[in-house]
């Protein structure tokens, strides 16, 4: 009897946001809308990276509501296009204010040609459904390239590792079974 009651309650909770004319998902229904969006105040990333290195994307941000939820990161690659967005959860201690870096291990996926051009767009989504300003960072993969030290405000003190962007890069010329239609 308890199992039937639990199933009915879950069914009601799922069906509530799906009433006529309401296009919100259950996740959107559970999030309290409103508040202020986060602001990414400073950012930096080297524009060149050696193949198989880890790219550090430095970010400083704050949210007056203290409800930053996740980074949204999307890569674009010349001759391939957009990769699906990746979501990196923001730790509780960073939800109001943060200064640190995201990591992108370029060794995931295919070995890419010299001078492969990428572009990363990063922004922050908060619990209210608000999004921060978008930061667009270019990247060229080049053997022997070195990431230099970051500029202020990222050159002093300890920086927090904010998470890893787990995108597997694809060589569009070699193909690996994941070819996309134009």
- Cα–Cα distance measured from residue 174 to residue 136, given in angstroms and rounded to the nearest whole number: 27
**Buried residues in 74-91 as b, exposed as e (16+ CB within 10 A):** bbebeebeebeebebebe
The answer regarding whether domain 33-164 maps to CATH 3.40.50.720 reads no
pLDDT at position 26: 47
pLDDT of 157 above 70: yes
Pairing, β 48-49 against β 54-62: unpaired
Q: What residues contact 14, with CB distance under 8 A and at least 6 apart? A: 26
17 three-state secondary structure: helix
Q: Note the Cα 19 to chain centre separation in Å.
A: 32
- Cα–Cα distance measured from residue 94 to residue 148, given in angstroms and rounded to the nearest whole number: 26
- Cα–Cα distance measured from residue 69 to residue 120, given in angstroms and rounded to the nearest whole number: 19
pLDDT-derived band at 143 (thresholds 50, 70, 90) equals confident
- Cα–Cα distance measured from residue 140 to residue 51, given in angstroms and rounded to the nearest whole number: 9
pLDDT at position 139: 93
- Cα–Cα distance measured from residue 182 to residue 97, given in angstroms and rounded to the nearest whole number: 41
pLDDT digit string (tens) for 89-111?
Answer: 999 999 999 999 999 998 766 56
pLDDT digit string (tens) for 50-77?
Answer: 888 899 999 999 999 999 999 999 999 8
What are the sequence ranges of the domains in the chain?
A: 1-30, 33-164
pTM comes to 0.76
Beta bridge partners of residue 43, listed in sequence order: 59
Asked if 105 and 54 count as a contact pair (C-beta separation under 8 A), the reply is yes
pLDDT of 5 above 60: no
pLDDT at position 176: 52
Q: What is the mean pLDDT of residues 41-55?
A: 92
> Tokens at residue 89, please?
């959860």
pLDDT of 42 above 90: yes
Pairing, β 86-89 against β 135-141: unpaired
**Residue 38: φ, ψ to 5°:** -70, 160
């Amino acid at each position: 009897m308890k199992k039937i009651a639990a199933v009915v309650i879950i069914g009601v909770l799922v069906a509530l946001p799906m009433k006529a004319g309401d296009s919100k998902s259950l996740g959107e229904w559970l999030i309290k809308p409103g508040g202020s969006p986060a602001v990414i105040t400073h950012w930096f990333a080297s524009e060149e990276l050696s193949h198989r290195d880890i790219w550090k994307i430095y970010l400083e941000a704050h949210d007056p509501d203290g409800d930053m939820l996740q980074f949204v990161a999307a890569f674009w690659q010349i001759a391939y296009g957009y990769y699906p967005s990746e979501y990196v959860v923001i730790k509780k201690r960073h939800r109001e204010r943060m200064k640190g870096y995201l990591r992108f291990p370029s060794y995931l996926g295919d070995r890419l040609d010299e001078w492969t051009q990428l572009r990363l767009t990063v922004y922050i989504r908060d619990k209210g459904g608000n999004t921060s300003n978008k930061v667009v960072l270019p990247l060229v993969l080049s053997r022997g390239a070195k990431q230099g030290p970051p500029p202020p405000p990222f050159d002093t003190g300890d920086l927090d590792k904010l998470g890893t962007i787990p995108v597997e890069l694809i060589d569009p010329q070699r193909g690996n079974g994941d070819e996309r239609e134009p």
